[in-house]
Amino acid sequence: MGERVFLGVDLGGTNTKFALVREGGEVLESNAIPTKAMRKPEEVAHDIAQEVERLLQIAREQERDIPALGIGIPGRIDWEEGICYLLPNFPNKWHQVPIRRWLEEETGLPVGVINDVRAITLAEKRFGAGRDVESMAMVAIGTGVGGGIVLNGELVIGQHGSAGELGHITVEAGGTECGCGNRGCLEAYATGPAMVAAAIRAVVQQNDTVIRDIVEGDLNRVTTKVVSQAVEAGDRVAIEIIQRIGEYIGQAVANVYVTIDPELIVIGGGVSRAGEPLLESIRKGIKKRLYMVPWENVRLVRAELDMDAGTIGTATWAKERFDKGLIG
C-alpha cells in the first residue's frame, strides 16, 4: 500500500475547492469547480462526487491510498450525521440535505463533515499560525463572519456543533438584523459586504474620499480591496470604516478572552487582507473592553495558510475522524 493522502473538499457558494493533502498538510493536487448553487443539492453533490472520482484516479496512478474524504459546509450542519440544516448563502438553503450519505454512496469513501470555518481553524492549528499553541480562537471575516475554537490542542465542537460561531456574538443590543434571526450580531457589521456598503454610503454622502477616484465614480466597482487601497493611501473615510469594523471585532474578541482565555487569536478570511490597519483597529477594540487579561499577553496574528486552508482543514478533519475510528 502506498502513502496515505486525504481528500479535502470545501463547498462554497461560488466555487467548490478540492485538494489531495498529505498527512503533514502539504497539498499535492488541487482544483476548483463552479458550484452552480442555484441547482438542486443532488446535482451539486453529484458534481462533487465526479471530481472526487477524478482525483481518486490521479491518486491511484501515483500509487497513493485515500482512506477518507472531508467536506466543509458553509452553514449549519449536524456534523456527526453529516446533514445540512441551513446554508444561508445558497439559493435553496439545503434544508435536511444528507450530504454525507450521498457522497459515501457515490464515492465509496468514508466522509467527514465539518463547518467550513471550523475546518480552517483546524488547519491553522495543525499547520499554520496556531501550530505552537494549545489554545486559540479564529475569526474569519469574509462574506460572513465565521470562527472556531481550539482548547487543549483540539477543535471544540460543542453539543450542537455551534462552539466557535463568533460571528453571532451580539455586539450591538437591538442593532441591525442578522441572517440568523438575532439583532446586532458581529456578522451584521464586520463583513466584506458591510465594509463595501459603508464605503458606498460615504461616496454617496459626498464625503471627501479617494474611494470615489479609485473607482472613477462607478459605485459597482467598490470592493474590500478598494477600501484597503484607500486605507493605504491614508484616506480618512476608509480608515474610519476599518476602525469601526475593527472595534466590533475587538469587542467580540474581548468576550472570547473572558470565556476561554486563549493563547492566540488568529484573524483570517478575505477581509483580513486589509492587513495591519485592520489588525491595529481590532487591538484597539480589544483594549477598550478587556480588563480581566493582562493586555501585554494578548496575541493577535493573521492566518498563515490563506487560500488552501479550507481543503487542508477538511482533509485533516477526515484523517483525524478516520484514525479515531469515527468514520469508515
Q: Which residues bind Zn ion (CB under 5 A)?
A: 168, 178, 180, 182, 185
Closest-CA residue to 109 (of 60, 155, 76): 60
* Beta carbon of residue 74, minimum distance to Zn ion (angstroms, whole number): 14
Q: How far apart are CA 49 and CA 41, in angstroms?
A: 12
218, with CB counted inside 10 A (0-12, 13-18, 19+), is: exposed
58 or 86, CB closer to Zn ion? Answer: 86
* Beta carbon of residue 281, minimum distance to Zn ion (angstroms, whole number): 22
Report the first-to-last Cα separation within the chain, whole angstroms. 18
Residues contacting 135, CB < 8 A, separation 6+: 150, 151, 152, 260, 261, 262, 263, 264
User: Quick one: which H or E segment has residue 107?
Assistant: helix 99-107
Are residues 41 and 16 in contact, defined by beta-carbon separation less than 8 angstroms?
no
186 or 267, CB closer to Zn ion? Answer: 186
Are residues 17 and 311 in contact, defined by beta-carbon separation less than 8 angstroms?
yes
* Beta carbon of residue 186, minimum distance to Zn ion (angstroms, whole number): 8
* Beta carbon of residue 77, minimum distance to Zn ion (angstroms, whole number): 16
Phi-psi category of residue 306: left, alpha or beta, with phi > 0 → left and psi -120 to 50 → alpha: left
100 or 168, CB closer to Zn ion? Answer: 168
* Beta carbon of residue 162, minimum distance to Zn ion (angstroms, whole number): 11
56 or 77, CB closer to Zn ion? Answer: 77
User: Cα–Cα distances in Å, from 132 out to 21, 135, 136?
Assistant: 21, 9, 10
96 or 162, CB closer to Zn ion? Answer: 162
Name the 3-class secondary structure at 289. helix
85 or 240, CB closer to Zn ion? Answer: 85
174 or 294, CB closer to Zn ion? Answer: 174
User: Cα–Cα distances in Å, from 110 out to 31, 43, 71, 93, 323?
Assistant: 21, 20, 11, 25, 12
Residues making up the chain, counted from first to last: 328
24 or 181, CB closer to Zn ion? Answer: 181
* Beta carbon of residue 178, minimum distance to Zn ion (angstroms, whole number): 3
* Beta carbon of residue 129, minimum distance to Zn ion (angstroms, whole number): 26
Name the 3-class secondary structure at 145. strand
* Beta carbon of residue 185, minimum distance to Zn ion (angstroms, whole number): 3
Q: How far apart are CA 234 and CA 230, in angstroms?
A: 6
